[in-house]
Amino acid sequence: MALVPWGTLIMICGVGMLIQVAIKAGTIDMLASWVGTSLPTAIVPFALAIIGGMMSFFSSTLGVVCPALFPIMPSIAESTGIDAIILFTATVIGAQATAISPFSSGGSLLLGSCSNEEERNEMFPTLLFKAVPVCVIFSLISVAIMMILF
C-alpha cells in the first residue's frame, strides 16, 4: 500500500468530478452556442480542437471529452456548414494532444508507473512543460492540414 501513488489517484478522481460538475452546470451547451454563432467558420475546427484539448488536459479523452462534446457536433455542423466528420476529428485531435498532461488519464498513468517519488517528481514538470506544448503545436498543424485537404 505504501507504493500506491495515492496523490495521483486522488487528483484523477477530483479532476474527473470537477469536469462532471461543469458538464451538469451547462458549460458544454454554452460552449456549443458560442462556437456555433460567434466564430468565423474557418476557425471553428481549431476552436473545437482547443476546447477538446483544454478539457482533456484535466480529464480522459474517451471517457469525458468525447461523450461531452460529440452530441453537440451535429448542431455546430448544421449552423456552420462544416462537415461533421471534420468537427469530430478536430475535437479528438485536440483532445489527444493534451492526453499526456500529468492531470489527464495518460499522464497520470505515466506518473503512476514511476517506481519512486523522485522519478515521479522529475517527470511531472517534463510532461507539463515539454510534452504538452509539443503535442498541442502538432495537433493544430494537423487540424490545419485536415482543413486544407477536406
Please tell me the distance from the alpha carbon of residue 70 to that of residue 94, in angstroms, as a whole number.
13
Confidence of residue 68 (pLDDT cuts 50, 70, 90): confident
User: Hey, is 22 helix, strand or coil?
Assistant: helix
Which residues are CB-neighbours of 11 under 8 A, at least 6 positions away?
Answer: 103, 108
Average pLDDT over residues 22-34: 84
- Per residue in 79-124, pLDDT (tens digit) is 899 999 999 999 999 999 998 899 888 898 898 898 888 999 999 9
Eight-state DSSP code of residue 74: H
Hey, where are the domains in the chain? 9-149
- Report which secondary-structure segment, H or E, holds 72: none
Cell for 29? 451547451
